[in-house]
């Protein structure tokens, strides 16, 4: 299920797991490859469990849009225990150019959680970057696949 505009993709899925268990996976960069629907993540490079806004974790990536292997720094922009985690991604060593990943969790009883994944590039204003990069780098199917993979972990 999606709710999209020109510069944002949104996917929803009810997962049969409590919000705290899902949040535990989402805030552990070492586990991100397990639910990556983009196919870009290779491994966690540096970073502990996400605990607050302002933290940065680094991932090893691979994709044709960057000519092969590269690293990203992910700057945590949102954090509410068992409810929300968000980060803006940037090529390693640079400031985020404006795209953001937002994971929202809404408990539906004790054993189910509505998970919303938003990929938002509406704040990308660099005209050169917008010429080079065809947004979205991850399509709706990639978001849906991420939620399916996350669900399969439980």
Say which CATH superfamily domain 8-152 falls into. Answer: START domain (3.30.530.20)
So where are the chain's domains?
8-152
The confidence score (pLDDT) of residue 4 equals 53
For residue 2, the model assigns a pLDDT of: 47
pLDDT value at position 47?
87
Concatenated DSSP letters of 71-93: EEEEEEEEEETTTEEEEEEEETT
What pTM was computed for the model? 0.94
Q: What is the pLDDT along the chain (154 residues), one digit of tens a residue?
A: 445 578 999 999 999 999 999 999 999 999 999 999 999 999 999 989 999 999 999 999 999 888 899 999 999 999 999 999 999 999 999 999 999 999 999 999 889 999 999 999 999 999 888 888 889 999 999 999 999 999 999 9
Burial of 74 (0-12, 13-18, 19+ CB in 10 A): buried
């Amino acid at each position: 299920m999606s709710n999209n505009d020109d510069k944002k993709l949104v996917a929803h899925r009810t997962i049969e797991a409590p919000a705290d268990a899902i949040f535990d996976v989402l805030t552990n960069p070492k586990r991100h490859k397990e639910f990556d629907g983009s196919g870009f993540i290779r491994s966690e490079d540096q970073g502990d469990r996400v605990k607050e806004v302002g933290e940065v974790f680094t991932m090893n990536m691979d994709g044709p849009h960057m000519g092969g292997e590269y690293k990203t720094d992910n700057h945590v922009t949102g954090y509410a225990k068992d409810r929300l985690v968000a980060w803006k991604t940037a090529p390693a060593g640079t400031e985020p150019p404006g795209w953001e990943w937002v994971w929202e969790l809404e408990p539906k009883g004790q054993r189910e959680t509505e998970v919303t994944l938003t990929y938002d590039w509406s704040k990308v204003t660099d005209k050169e970057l917008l010429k080079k990069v065809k947004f979205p780098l991850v399509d709706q199917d990639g978001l849906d696949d991420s939620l399916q993979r996350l669900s399969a972990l439980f």
